[in-house]
């Protein structure tokens, strides 16, 4: 899907009828990272790489609002007037912002693990993890 020089990479799974469920992914996640057991559905499921992520072109937005604007643009480019959104981790923040800023576009919202991490039984990432996760990905 392409618009104004920006090419969105996406994959549609499941049947062609019903309200689509659009997945918004985590920090550094791409459409290829979703577990097949999670995305199996009896309705349309749409996985996509937001602007500048994975196989999509363009600049990566530097804010959740920017990511939400691009996600809403992508959904409308596909011709949908209403979808359900599933947001995981950072994608949860994006999905919430799409819902707040484009309420006509979202029928239902599913949030999965949208907190900053931690909790009972969860080991918080140490400083060595944060150093690596913030580095740019090198081209090979």
The share of the chain scoring above pLDDT 90, in percent, equals 52
In this structure, the chain runs to a length of 140
Each residue's pLDDT tens digit, 21-72: 999 988 778 888 888 877 877 899 999 999 998 889 999 899 999 999 999 9
Region for residue 42 given its phi and psi (left: phi exceeds 0; alpha: psi -120 to 50; beta: otherwise): alpha
Q: Which domains does the chain have, with CATH numbers?
A: 2-133 (3.40.50.1820)
Tell me the sheet residues that pair with 121: none
What local confidence, expressed as pLDDT, does residue 115 receive?
A: 66
Each residue's pLDDT tens digit, 72-130: 999 999 999 999 999 998 899 999 999 999 999 999 999 987 766 666 766 666 677 66
């Amino acid at each position: 899907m392409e618009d104004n020089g920006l090419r969105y990479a996406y994959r549609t799974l499941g049947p062609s009828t019903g309200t689509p469920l659009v997945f918004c992914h985590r920090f550094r996640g791409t459409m290829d990272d979703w577990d097949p057991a999670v995305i199996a559905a009896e309705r349309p499921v749409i996985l996509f790489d937001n602007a500048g992520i994975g196989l999509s072109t363009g600049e990566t937005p530097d804010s959740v609002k920017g990511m939400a604007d691009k996600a809403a643009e992508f959904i409308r480019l596909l011709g949908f007037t209403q979808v359900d959104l599933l947001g995981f981790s950072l994608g949860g923040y994006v999905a919430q912002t799409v819902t707040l800023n484009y309420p006509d576009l979202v029928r239902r919202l599913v949030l999965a693990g949208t907190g900053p991490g931690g909790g009972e039984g969860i080991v918080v990432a140490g400083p060595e993890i944060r150093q690596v996760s913030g580095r740019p990905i090198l081209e090979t």
